[in-house]
Structure formats: C-alpha cells, structure tokens
Amino acid sequence: MGQGVGVAAAMCKKYRCEPREVARNHAAELQQLLLRQDAFIPGVEHQDGRDLAKQAAVSASGDCPLVFPDSQTFRHVNVPLAQIFPVSTESIEAVELLLKSDLATPVQLRLGLRKAGHVWDFRGADDVATASATVPAKHQGFVRFDLNAKTEPGTLYYLHIGYQEGVSWAVFTDSPEAASLVPVATSPADQPPNGDRWRPLTNEKCFSMRVTPTQRPYGPKNVVIGTSRPDRWSNIFVSDPEGGFPAWLELRWPQPVISGYVQVTFDTDVNRRVERPLFRCPDSVKRYDIAFATGGGWKVVAEENDNYYRWRSHTFDPVHSDRLRIQVHATNGAKSARIYEVRVYERPPGSVA
C-alpha cells in the first residue's frame, strides 16, 4: 500500500493534479508502474510496449515437471478435501492419491475434477470429469482414479473428494528453512462441516498425488507472459533439478535489438515467514550472469555472485544482439533455478514514464 501511495504521489507531481484525478484518469499507468516495480495486482498483467522481452521466443536448458512430494503425515477425510494444480496437457488420463485406510473392508471413493480461475479459487461448482476407485482394507499407498478428462493447457484445475470415515489423505508441509518442495501454483483446501465454501490450507502445504500424463507447467515461456507471481497460472520458470547447474534461460529475437537494461525477478517465496537473523531463502538464485550473443561468442554484461534479492535490475552499455542468456550457476540451497519474470529495455525506464 505504501508503494502504491508513493508512486501515485509521483504521478500527482508529474501531471500536477490531485490523487483523485490519478485514480480517474491515470489508473492504468499507475498499475503498470507498480507492476514494473514488482508490486502485485491480482488479475492485472504488464502491458509495457517498450519491454523487448515480450517480442522474444524463450527457451531453456530444461524445465521441472509437476511433482507433489510424498508424506507420512495424513489428514482424515472427515470433511471434503481438494487440491488445485496447473495443467499443461490437453487431457488427464488419471490421478493417484496417497491414501490410508483404517477400515477392515474396502471402500469406494469418488473424485471430481473442476476448473479453478485462480490459485486460491475453489468456487467452481461443475465437475468436468469424475471417477471412482476402491481403497483396499487397511491400505496405505497410492490409489488410482481413471479420469480420462479433456483439459485446457495453461489452466488451473482442482480435484476434490468427499467425506469418508476411516480414510486419510497424505499432506506434505514444507520445512520453514529448507528449499520448498510444494509445487508452485498449487493450493490445498478443506470444506468445514455444514459449510458451502472451501477453506484454503495455508503455510506451504499440499496433498500427495500423481498426475498422468506428467504436467510441465514451469516452462521458460512463463517469464514473458506478463506477471511475476502465481495467480491464474504458475507464471514461473523452474529449471530441471536433474539437470543441475549451470541452468540457462535464453531469449531470442527475430532480428537484433538494442538493449542497455535487463530486469529479472527471482523467487524468494514471499509467503515464507522466517525470523532467523540473516536468513536467505534457499529458493533464491545466488550466482548468475547475463550475456548477449556477439560475433565472437557471448558477452557478459552483468554478473552477481552473492545474490539473495528477489528483484534485480542491471544497466550496461547498449548491446546490439538477437540473443540474451541468463545463466544460473548456484542458488542459496534449492536444486532448481526459479525465475518469475525477465524484462529487457533499450534504456533504463524512469520511475515515472
């Protein structure tokens, strides 16, 4: 809120007007300035036509699949439970839930799949597909539900199961000071007794499950789609943890552009609450460099060896090139590089355009 007031005050000076006139006549410009400075306005995407990154094709050394971690902690299905997740394929063949049954006899469990408009949005009321499966007596392990559902790539969905006495679903919780294992753009929820609304389960949790086919919602194109937090999509590039470091992200233009300023937004898990002095988010990128392709190879224009900030900007002598590469050599603990947004400009944009 303070950031918004400060930028609005600068715009009052620019246009020599009162705050209400900024709201009435310049709200869109105010929003775009705030987004460029890494503020978050849900549902609003950046539309800065000067950002050269929006014109580039993006590739990477490899991206991370959607993987939910297993857990030995179980939550009783004494109320309906649900899990939002991003879908990158045109269909979902099946999902498997990590379940435990304390019952002496098998039980049928029904599962439904619904669209979600936002990473915390469980308001969808219509199932796009349903499936049932048998949970064996005294069982602990994965149970497969054959959905055979048609889905829309680039969309969030949530699956839900209803009340079932004697059955529990494994729930994983991130360690406060370790690298996050809860996938980005996933949210669990329950539905309290006698309630008609879902209640999101916060503090870095997810239910343990598997999706067939494998989903890949963390590809490199996410860094130029216009938002720097998960909302209606994952909106983040996560490198393949099996590929190790260095991991790279490359922007390629149809023809050379002139650039003298690059802005990068990393992941510092803004939801994390750690009070330990000098704590550095393990998911943040620590060592990286930015380079442009030249006739003689790659020209490094910026590099950092001990970063722990989320938002970084780099100004350098203008370069004429058709390719930019960000190469991550290390993080502060995570096995993947995580980048939300990359912006490229010919020159540094002013605080108020």
Give the chain's domains with CATH numbers: 1-37 (no CATH), 43-64+218-345 (2.60.120.260), 74-212 (2.60.290.11)
**Alpha-carbon dihedral 316, 45, 217, 76, rounded to 10 degrees:** 130
- Angle, alpha carbons 272-278-284 (nearest 5°): 50
Is 132:74 a contact under the CB 8 Å cutoff? Answer: no
Does residue 246 register a pLDDT over 50? Answer: yes
Q: Give residue 75's pLDDT band: very low, low, confident or very high (50, 70, 90).
A: very high
d(CA 337, CA 267): 9
Spell out the residues 6+ positions from residue 295 whose beta carbon is closer than 8 angstroms to its own.
none
- Quickly state the pLDDT bin for 353 (edges 50, 70, 90): very low
pLDDT confidence tier of residue 351, bands split at 50, 70 and 90: very low
Question: Per-residue pLDDT tens for 85-132?
Answer: 999 999 999 999 999 999 999 999 999 999 999 999 999 989 999 999
For the chain, what is the mean pLDDT? 94
Q: What is the pLDDT of residue 10?
A: 93
Q: Are residues 160 and 114 in contact, defined by beta-carbon separation less than 8 angstroms?
A: yes
Q: In 3D, which of 158, 150, 167 has the Cα closest to residue 188? A: 158
Residue 223 contacts by C-beta under 8 Å, 6 or more apart in sequence? 53, 58, 236, 237, 249, 339, 340, 341, 342
Q: Which of 49, 5, 8, 2 is nearest to 30 (CA)?
A: 8
Q: What DSSP state is assigned to residue 337? A: -
Buried b (16+ CB within 10 A) or exposed e, 35-50: bbbbbebeebebebee
Taking the complete model, does pTM exceed 0.85, yes or no? yes
pLDDT, tens digit, for every residue of 134-157? 999 999 999 999 999 999 999 999
Q: In the prediction, which pLDDT does 92 show?
A: 98
> What's the first-to-final CA gap in the chain, in angstroms?
20
The DSSP secondary-structure symbol of 63 reads: B
Helix (H, G, I), strand (E, B) or coil at 208: coil
